[in-house]
């Protein structure tokens, strides 16, 4: 069912006012513009006619921006289909590496640099633990890492979700060393090492001319706190892994379905209170809603999904085949089949988008392309 209210509505009504009052980056400006015109006449499209009743309708193009609430479903499904070819016949651990909010101003001052360092700290931490004999693995792990930058109320909350197979490939490539059933590493020890790694990397790359003048004070506050790593028990099988991936990989700060109203310069949306897991509502001014949404626009060409260890892109294909053989369990993997948009929607939702919504009998066929249209 189509949501009643959309982020695009907020941008169209209040975007110009926001841009006139507050500073905005070029990347944020592009995101606002793309979301505002997504699936409208401005992006062009094509006209269709029903082969039974001759009803006409226009179908407009998507903006395909990675921050757009309308454009992630198909991208996510294509990505998931490809990941099916990479699953291993073993358990998987889900871990979340979170940093204290004290470091938020520092990260926001140079997001591309400090978020890249965050990925590196997670990678270094897991790889060092996997190599340490005390954890009885001694090999190379595989990591699929996903950056999220938001909380349920859209404030900046930087954390990385990790999906890690329950075992490592020995350094000589001859053995698969499985982990225990309950945990991969002790999270308290992991959190201490993660804290050490990230703060060390920040010190190494700190630029007092470009970063906040109180950066060292912020770091000291973060150093005094206990850092938290969340670890979930292993997934039972590949199906649960894919379900997890679908929930986290292509999520954006807020979906259109969470918007409840846009009225009198205010936006009301739902959120989950993590203190008691209850669904609640929050109302913000439209300008504050836009400000919070734009906090999560990533730098241009910044990769929010990254692979490390034996899942690194340069060795992933060979490693997966080798590990499957070492584990000794067969896995049925289906070849990735390129589908049309109509075929994907039908498979995922059961809805035939070629069916005429007027007569419910005929099929819509393309008549002619519609040119891009701009009011400006």
CA atoms of 271 and 151, how far apart (whole Å): 9
Statement: residue 56 has pLDDT above 60? yes
Residue with tokens 């938020």: 104
**Across residues 170-188, what is the average pLDDT?**
91
Q: How far is CA 22 from CA 29, 67, 156, 296, in A?
A: 12, 20, 18, 16
pLDDT at 349: 63
Which of 91-95, 106-110, 198-202 bottoms out in mean pLDDT, i.e. has the lowest?
A: 91-95
DSSP 135: G
pLDDT at 124: 98
pLDDT at 235: 74
Q: Return all residues near 348 (Cβ < 8 A) that are at least 6 apart.
A: 73, 77
Reported as a pLDDT band with limits 50, 70 and 90, residue 27 is very high
pLDDT in tens, 268-281: 999 999 888 899 99
pLDDT at 10: 98
- DSSP element (H, E) containing 216: helix 215-223
pLDDT in tens, 206-220: 987 888 999 999 999
Alpha-carbon dihedral of residues 283, 288, 293, 298, nearest 10 degrees? -160
CB 100 within 8 A of CB 222: yes
**Does 222 or 332 have the greater pLDDT score?**
222
- Helices 7-21 and 26-37: crossing angle, nearest 10°? 150
Reported as a pLDDT band with limits 50, 70 and 90, residue 73 is confident
CA atoms of 77 and 156, how far apart (whole Å): 27
Phi, psi of 105, rounded to the nearest 5 degrees: -60, -35
CB 249 within 8 A of CB 305: yes
Statement: residue 375 has pLDDT above 50? no
Q: How far is CA 216 from CA 203, 220, 271, in A?
A: 9, 6, 34
CA atoms of 132 and 125, how far apart (whole Å): 11
140: β partners = 169
Statement: residue 343 has pLDDT above 90? no
CB 48 within 8 A of CB 57: yes
**Across residues 298-313, what is the average pLDDT?**
96
Statement: residue 222 has pLDDT above 60? yes
pLDDT at 318: 95
Statement: residue 238 has pLDDT above 80? no
| Closest listed residue to residue 72, CA positions, set 248, 224, 238 | 248
Statement: residue 71 has pLDDT above 50? yes
> Mean pLDDT across the chain, nearest whole number?
90
Instruction: Express as a percent the part of the chain with pLDDT over 90.
Output: 70
Strands (DSSP E) found in 222-348:
228-235, 259-263, 266-273, 278-285, 305-309
Domain ranges of the chain: 7-66+348-370, 75-253+297-327
Statement: residue 102 has pLDDT above 60? yes
Residue with tokens 């060390």: 200
CA atoms of 150 and 157, how far apart (whole Å): 5
């Amino acid at each position: 069912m189509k949501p009643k209210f959309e982020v695009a509505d907020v941008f169209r009504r209040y975007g110009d006012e926001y841009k006139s009052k507050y500073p905005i980056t070029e990347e944020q400006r592009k995101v606002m513009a793309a979301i505002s015109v997504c699936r409208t006449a401005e992006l062009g499209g094509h006209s269709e006619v029903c082969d039974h009743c001759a009803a006409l309708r226009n179908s407009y193009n998507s903006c395909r921006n990675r921050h757009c609430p309308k454009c992630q479903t198909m991208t996510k499904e294509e990505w998931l289909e490809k990941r099916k070819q990479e699953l291993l016949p073993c358990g998987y651990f889900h871990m979340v590496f979170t940093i204290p909010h004290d470091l938020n101003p520092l990260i926001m001052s140079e997001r591309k640099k400090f978020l890249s360092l965050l990925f590196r700290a997670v990678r270094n931490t897991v790889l060092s633990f996997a190599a340490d004999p005390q954890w009885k693995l001694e090999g190379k792990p595989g990591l699929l890492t996903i950056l999220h930058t938001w909380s349920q109320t859209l404030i900046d909350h930087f954390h990385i979700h990790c999906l890690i197979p329950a075992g490592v490939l020995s350094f000589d490539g001859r053995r698969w060393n499985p982990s225990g059933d309950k945990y991969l590493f002790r999270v308290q020890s992991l959190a201490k090492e993660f804290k050490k790694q990230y703060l060390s990397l920040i010190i190494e790359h700190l630029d007092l001319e470009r970063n906040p003048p109180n950066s060292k004070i912020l770091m000291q506050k973060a150093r005094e706190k206990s850092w938290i790593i969340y670890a979930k028990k292993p997934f039972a099988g590949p199906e649960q892994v894919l379900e997890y991936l679908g929930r986290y990989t292509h999520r954006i700060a807020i979906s259109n379905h969470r918007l409840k109203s846009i009225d009198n310069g205010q936006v009301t949306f739902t959120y989950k209170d993590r203190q008691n897991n209850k669904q609640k509502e929050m109302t913000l001014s439209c300008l504050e809603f836009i400000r919070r949404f734009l906090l999560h626009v990533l730098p241009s060409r910044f990769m929010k999904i990254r692979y490390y260890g034996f899942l690194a892109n340069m060795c992933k294909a060979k490693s997966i085949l080798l590990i499957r053989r070492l584990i000794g369990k067969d896995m049925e993997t289906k070849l990735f089949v390129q589908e049309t948009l109509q075929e994907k929607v039908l498979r995922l939702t059961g809805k035939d988008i070629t069916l005429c919504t007027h007569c419910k009998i005929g099929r819509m066929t393309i008549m002619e392309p519609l040119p891009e249209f701009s009011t400006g």
